[in-house]
């Protein structure tokens, strides 16, 4: 099947700065402003041996060119001094605007990059070649801000395409520049040990390493030029199945004769990977140590080792572990062994890399109490990440509804997330939030849903819980947009308790004098989106994603609905079994009432 042309890729490759805002005007500086009419003269006194700021200087030069701000070498240009100075940690910066000129200070290159973006935003928000006098100091509290390439292959059925298999550049310069402007400092991509990582203690691994590793190294190098680190995502260790050439699992017959100690918890034709032997621990250590040795500069890794599919012995339902070794231990002890082997291998190769353990739907397997207990036993320095909204409760039409999986319309956090975060922090464990900042399962077929007020509320609660990182998307909801820009701004302190002030600062660079009207629209959108029926199956299957192309049948055809998150060739279009997206959660009348409220309120905006 031939894919349609992806015209959005052309859009993503266009320069971030293309034309003056419609509200731009040439006017003299007012009281409390510095005029830039005479241009700028740059004094770069910042040591950058790797040259990673060359992209920031090129971006700022284009910005000045588009706005007709001359970059000169003599008077009457305003001096812009870039200098190294002590600030409050990585990415922190200090921007001073005085009648005598501009000074940008930071301790590291990424603080300078953040400061340059801030300087551009201040000029755009002024709507003229002027800057307000004063000092701006910022530091991130959400230190890791992970997104994903919007158009990178997802390495999942039915296509199973792998971005490390081809020579396509999924990270063109202006796309990375756009992400950097929106505060993204990390991107994730999917690998499997079987395909990517050569391992000496067991056969059958690293089958495509000669192709994957060079492409991964090039991706790391390319993204680092914009201050963006690459994280690998995997679901490891891989369990076993009695089936040859299975896409997801290892063939049990290949391993059980020579490596019986690896075969653990047996469930039907499957078996968990048992981490209790010395061989297993050597395998887990070598996998990550080899990966981070072979790919210098790799930023970190993310592992769903419980909650998505069968992996190790304890990744099955609580109380159903029949492994003779692991069944006598607590589930979190088995998980902890896996995580510790992974982190030691990674950190021995790269002490600065970050390991994020993401037990995606652990609570469905281990129960709420087992999930909270496990949060207090994560080995140091592994980071714990949970879905911010999963298992959350909300009132709609007089009934309590449960929000499983990812949500944007529901603010969160769930009580489960809060308890896990608090227990992890008591153990000294850093906590991240899995979010969907652009859009989520409610409507995943758009680039983003413009509800920055919801993000403000989410990040406010994240800050209260001491959350220090965010995975901003799964493989949808990551298109560069208003929402990723809002998430980037919300990740930095000082925090504003004035929500309207935040929305105003977000709107000004794009909308100038029209910001008041735009903010009013955003608030209507937030109120409307809260009416979305809270039930994950409705999000997965409902007509919202298809809108006007949802098929309407004159006569019943009795065909199933299809999920929004994957392509199913056997079901090219939706059927008419509308009850499949409602089940016991909503009556048809309730769903219609909420959707009509959502539509009506949205149109007010």
How confident is the model over 483-532, as pLDDT tens digits?
A: 999 999 999 999 999 999 999 999 999 999 999 999 999 999 999 999 99
When pLDDT is averaged across residues 548-570 and rounded to a whole number, the result is: 86
Average pLDDT over residues 442-467: 97
CATH number 3.40.630.40 is the correct assignment for the domain at 144-238+277-512: no
Tell me the mean pLDDT in the region 546-566: 88
Domain with CATH 3.20.20.80 in the chain: 144-238+277-512
599 neighbors 555 (Cβ within 8 angstroms): no
* Token code pair at residue 107: 């301790």
List own/partner pairs for 100-109 with CB under 8 A and 24 or more apart: 101/34, 102/34, 102/40, 102/78, 102/131, 104/80, 106/46, 109/46, 109/48, 109/50, 109/52, 109/53, 109/227
- CATH 3.30.379.10 intervals, the chain: 7-137
- % of the chain residues with pLDDT over 70: 99
Note the pLDDT of residue 50: 95
List the structure tokens of 600: 């009506």
The pLDDT assigned to 571 comes to 76
Residue pLDDT, tens place only, 262-296: 999 999 999 999 999 999 999 999 999 999 999 99
State the pLDDT at residue 3. 62
Helices (H), 198-277: 209-224, 252-255
What tens digit of pLDDT does each residue of 61-70 get?
999 999 999 9
What confidence tens digit (pLDDT) does each residue in 352-364 have? 999 999 999 999 9
Q: Are strands 240-241 and 270-273 parallel, antiparallel or unpaired?
A: antiparallel
pLDDT in tens, 174-212: 999 999 999 999 999 999 999 999 999 999 999 999 999
> Is pLDDT at 568 greater than 90 in this prediction?
no
What span, in angstroms and rounded, lies between the C-alpha atoms of 605 and 601?
Answer: 7
73 pLDDT more than 80: no
Would you state the pLDDT for residue 187?
Answer: 98
Q: 499-511 and 452-464 helices cross at what angle (nearest 10)?
A: 130
Out of 153-157, 212-216, 217-221, which region has the weakest mean confidence (pLDDT)? 153-157
pLDDT of 8? 86
Confidence of residue 158 (pLDDT cuts 50, 70, 90): low
Contact status, residue 216 vs residue 196, Cβ threshold 8 Å: yes
In angstroms, the Cα distances linking 14 to 10, 17, 171, 398, 511 are 7, 9, 13, 48, 20
What does the alpha-carbon distance between residue 267 and residue 249 come to, in Å, rounded to a whole number? 14
Task: Give the pLDDT score at 593.
Answer: 98
* Confidence category of residue 215, pLDDT binned at 50, 70, 90: very high
Residue 106, beta-bridge partner list: 84, 93
Q: What is the pTM of this model?
A: 0.97
CATH 3.30.379.10: does it fit domain 7-137? Answer: yes
């Amino acid at each position: 099947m031939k894919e349609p042309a992806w015209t959005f890729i052309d859009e993503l490759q266009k320069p971030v700065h293309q034309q003056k805002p419609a509200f731009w005007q040439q006017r003299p500086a007012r009281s409390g402003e510095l005029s830039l009419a005479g241009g700028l003269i740059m004094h770069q006194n910042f040591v950058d041996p790797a040259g990673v700021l060359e992209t920031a200087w090129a971006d700022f030069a284009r910005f000045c060119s588009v706005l007709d701000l001359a970059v000169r070498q003599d008077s009457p240009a305003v001096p812009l001094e870039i200098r190294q100075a002590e600030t409050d940690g990585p990415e922190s910066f200090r921007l001073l605007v005085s009648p005598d000129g501009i000074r940008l200070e930071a301790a590291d290159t990424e603080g300078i990059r953040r400061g340059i973006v801030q300087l551009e935003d201040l000029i755009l928000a002024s709507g003229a070649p002027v800057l307000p006098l004063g000092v701006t100091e910022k530091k991130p509290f959400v230190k890791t801000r992970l997104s994903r390439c919007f158009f990178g292959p997802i390495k999942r059925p039915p296509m199973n395409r792998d971005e490390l298999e081809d020579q396509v550049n999924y990270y063109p310069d202006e796309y990375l520049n756009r992400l950097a402007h929106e505060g993204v400092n990390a991107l994730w991509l999917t690998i499997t040990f079987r395909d990517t990582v050569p391992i000496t203690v067991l056969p059958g691994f690293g089958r495509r390493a000669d192709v994957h590793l060079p492409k991964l190294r090039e991706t790391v190098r390319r993204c680092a030029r914009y201050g963006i680190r690459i994280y690998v995502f995997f679901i490891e260790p891989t369990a076993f199945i009695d089936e040859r050439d299975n896409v997801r699992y290892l063939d049990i017959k290949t391993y059980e004769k020579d490596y019986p100690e690896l075969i653990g918890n047996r469930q039907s034709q499957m078996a968990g990977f048992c981490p209790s032997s010395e061989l297993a621990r050597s395998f887990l250590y070598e996998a990550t140590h080899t990966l981070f040795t072979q790919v210098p500069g790799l930023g970190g890794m993310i592992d769903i080792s419980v909650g998505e599919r069968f992996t190790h012995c304890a990744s099955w339902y609580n109380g159903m572990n029949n492994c003779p070794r692991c069944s006598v231990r607590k589930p979190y002890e088995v998980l902890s062994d896996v995580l510790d082997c992974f982190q030691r291998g990674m950190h021995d190769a790269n002490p600065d890399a970050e390991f994020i353990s993401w037990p995606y739907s652990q609570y469905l397997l281990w129960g709420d109490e087992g999930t909270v207990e496990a949060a207090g036993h994560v080995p140091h320095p592994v980071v714990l990440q949970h879905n911010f909204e999963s298992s959350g409760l909300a009132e709609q039409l007089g009934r309590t509804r449960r929000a499983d999986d990812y949500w944007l319309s529901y603010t969160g956090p769930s009580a489960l997330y809060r308890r896990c975060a608090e227990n992890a922090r008591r153990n000294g464990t850093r906590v991240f939030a899995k979010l969907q900042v652009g859009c989520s399962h409610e409507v995943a077929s758009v680039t983003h849903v413009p509800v920055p007020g919801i993000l403000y509320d989410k990040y406010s609660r994240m800050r209260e819980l001491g959350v220090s990182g965010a995975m901003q998307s799964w493989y949808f909801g990551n298109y560069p947009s208003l929402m990723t820009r809002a998430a980037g701004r919300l990740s930095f302190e000082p925090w504003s308790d004035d929500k309207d002030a935040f929305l105003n600062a977000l709107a000004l660079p794009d909308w100038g004098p029209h910001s008041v009207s735009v903010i009013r629209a955003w608030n209507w959108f937030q109120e409307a989106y809260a009416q979305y029926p809270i039930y994950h199956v409705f999000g997965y299957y409902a007509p919202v994603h298809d809108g006007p192309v949802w098929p309407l049948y004159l006569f019943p055809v009795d065909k199933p609905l299809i999920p929004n998150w994957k392509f199913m060739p056997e079901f090219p279009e939706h059927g008419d079994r509308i009850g499949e997206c409602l089940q016991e959660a909503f009556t048809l009348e309730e769903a219609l009432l909420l959707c009509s409220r959502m539509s009506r309120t949205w149109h007010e905006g």
